[in-house]
Amino acid sequence: MNERLKTFFKYLGGTVLTLLIIYLVCFAVFLAATHPTRAQEKTSKDIALSKTPIVNVQRQYHLSRDVVSDSLEGTDKKGKKYYFVYLPKNKKAYLYQASKGLSRSQAIARFNNLHLGHDNLKVEFGWYKDKPVWEISYKKDNGNYGYAIISFKTGRELFYVDNI
């Protein structure tokens, strides 16, 4: 092998090694940054599975409005659906039968009836002013955001803001 080829492979190896180190550092930063959120989700899931009839978790939610809440949607052994809300700051938890309030799809339908023309809705279940709520947020074509908070129990819109 000639000297030019050896030099090329030496630089190629150094470049690959440098890129691998950069990738690993970025991955480590990502893991460190998302650890608190993953830990909170795990805590709320563990509490729900051990202290409630929920045995199967379908979705997890996180809402940070007036208080931080970690929530999930799950079913019991018979297939009955529940919503569970955990407030990590004061370590309180609440369990709601899905049949006693709005489902995710009903909340979206309610929002679409009130506010036409929004796509790519993001839906979260959580806690707002001492009530279980659905938060529906969206991004508009002009780059602005909006969201609505809908009561889980009554279906009433509690708060709406557009173009923020």
pLDDT value of position 36: 62
pLDDT confidence bin for 73, thresholds 50/70/90: very high
| In the predicted structure, residue 163 carries a pLDDT above the cut 90 | no
Q: In this structure, what token pair is assigned to residue 46?
A: 């563990």
Q: In this structure, what token pair is assigned to residue 71?
A: 């929530």
> 15-61: per-residue pLDDT in tens?
998 999 899 888 878 777 765 666 677 778 888 888 899 999 999 99
pLDDT value of position 35: 58
Amino acid at 144: N
3 state DSSP class of 90: coil
Of 114, 120, 109, residue with least CA distance to 158: 114
> 93-147: per-residue pLDDT in tens?
999 999 999 999 999 999 988 888 777 899 999 999 999 999 999 988 788 888 9
